[in-house]
Structure 1
């Protein structure tokens, strides 16, 4: 019997797959637990439409990430901090402080998307890589100025 998996079933199939499974297993186990639905023509067509809309949504997310990346690369974000002699900061600038500075400019960016190996500890301009999407990376300039 052909079924469409609604959830992952170990050893049988993953969510969204259409597979041939024994009739007894389907009627006695999979259907009562709502793990599958029977692969009728209408259900298969609905599944295809869901896949198409999912692909369209992912493509739109990627385009939005590319646009945001271009916008971020043009900006220089300024963060103020207290500093001592030789341009050394008292403390450090973290991704949270950078995210707050970006939010003040009206751009929403999650601090976890910034790939800063260690906090910034000196004055000047630092290049901070940002992973906006699975396939899209950008580099923003963060300028640390003395308060």
Structure 2
């Protein structure tokens, strides 16, 4: 019997796959536990439309991520911070500080965990940073630390 899995089933397949299982396994285990539905014309057409909408949504997310990457690219985020008598910074510049500066520059919310700086920022100057937006889509930008 062909069924569409509604969740991952160990030894059978992953969610939204059409698999061939024995009639007893389908009737006595998969259907009562709501882990599968019969693969008739209606449910397969629903599966196809669900897959198409998922693909469309992923494409829209990628377009938005690319647009954000273009806006972030070559942006200079200026962070002003105080220093001690010897010219060293009080503490260091964190991802939260950079995210706030980038959000102010772009006018959009930025998650601090998506910002990658290759070195700790503990002195004045310019530093290369990168924003990981979605999967393999990244955008380089510059962090400028000033008095």
Q: How many residues align?
A: 146
Gaps of 5+ in 2: none
In 2: Cα distance, 1:86 partner to 1:55 partner: 56
TM-score (norm 2): 0.92
Following superposition of structure 1 onto structure 2, how do residues 45-124 of structure 1 map, counting pairs within 5 Å?
A: 45-84=45-84, 88-105=88-105, 106-124=107-125
Measured after TM superposition, the shift of residue 103 of structure 1 is 2.4
117-126 vs 46-55, greater mean Cα deviation: 117-126
In the alignment, does 2:38 pair up with 1:38? Answer: yes
Aligned equivalents of 1:28, 1:35: Cα separation in 2: 11
Partner of 1:22: 22
Unaligned residue ranges in structure 1 (runs of 5+): none
| Structure 1 runs of 4+ with >6 Å offset | none
Greater displacement, 117-126 / 68-77: 117-126
What TM-score do you get using the length of structure 1 for normalisation? 0.92
For residues 140 and 134 of structure 1, what CA distance do their matches in structure 2 show?
A: 18
RMSD between aligned residues: 1.5
